Structure 1
């Protein structure tokens, strides 16, 4: 599987002038490692050695955006829910995502799942849209108490809508979430070094 993903990695990188720039921080931390990307896209590549996981291989609105921008779409290696991954515990060096975590009704569950599959010392690397720098700027910030309430009730509801933002954060809001769950924050960028309308949080597994 890694062999196929390495081929995909090279094919998706630096082949189209409409692709977004890569993240220097991601390369600094994750080059020479192997991991999982949740919801990868051709127009927003990380150019790392990753297995691309998505919840469907059908043509979604996101795949249409990819093709409209670049004329192509990234290959999906594994079809699975992003918060229920078919990988053993501590089997990956990292999990990476860009503008994905906000689509989960229960982001706590998703992050806990990503930490499950990452080895000790490995990383969960997230670029997250900043509420004030996106079309969500007029939405109320999502409180920590609401996220905890969702997490406690997530097994009783089916509120996921993969096409819509479920949560609206500032950098400080997300750091509060990390502090509450004692997730070790390894690196923070208040303005991400990729698309620059979000922020970057890197959690290292203890």
Structure 2
């Protein structure tokens, strides 16, 4: 019995620990395992703080140091060249070099401009839930119908987020760039909003069952 309790506890804790560990790893490296991903990048998380045209998340520490040393060496060579060209000619007159009109600029990085409807979609879902809750309380619809509606909505959110996420992962992994990529990214984010709000509503609908589960876990942990 004790082993079974420990396994149940680990089953509930390990997913959250895995999510936290994945979040820490993704914050320091490319979440898709790409190496030296060039501009404009294969995902919306493209970041180029050093302006070298390569995503910082896909570069290793060695790449950063090499890039910094190269830029410093090139700047030193440029200053030495400018000093040498300013030397006097055979007649004793100083020869100057005009400054270039245009300087070399790194490619600018455009931030994603996609507008995700977090607040409007959340308000619409909450308003719809309040309406069905009112209809159930007034006896116009049965409780089973109310629960079935939101179970279907929650299932659609999970299924849509999972399918679009797998497709985006395949596109990134195999380097597929099509006109549908922004659309998949958009719907993946919108369905993720639906999934989160639907999960919160699901918890509210089945709050008694959720509270019983947590009470049961608490009793198992506290029992000798």
**Which structure has the larger Rg over C-alpha atoms?**
2
The structure carrying a bigger helix percent of its residues is: 2
TM-score class, shorter: under 0.3
Q: TM-score normalised to the size of structure 1?
A: 0.23
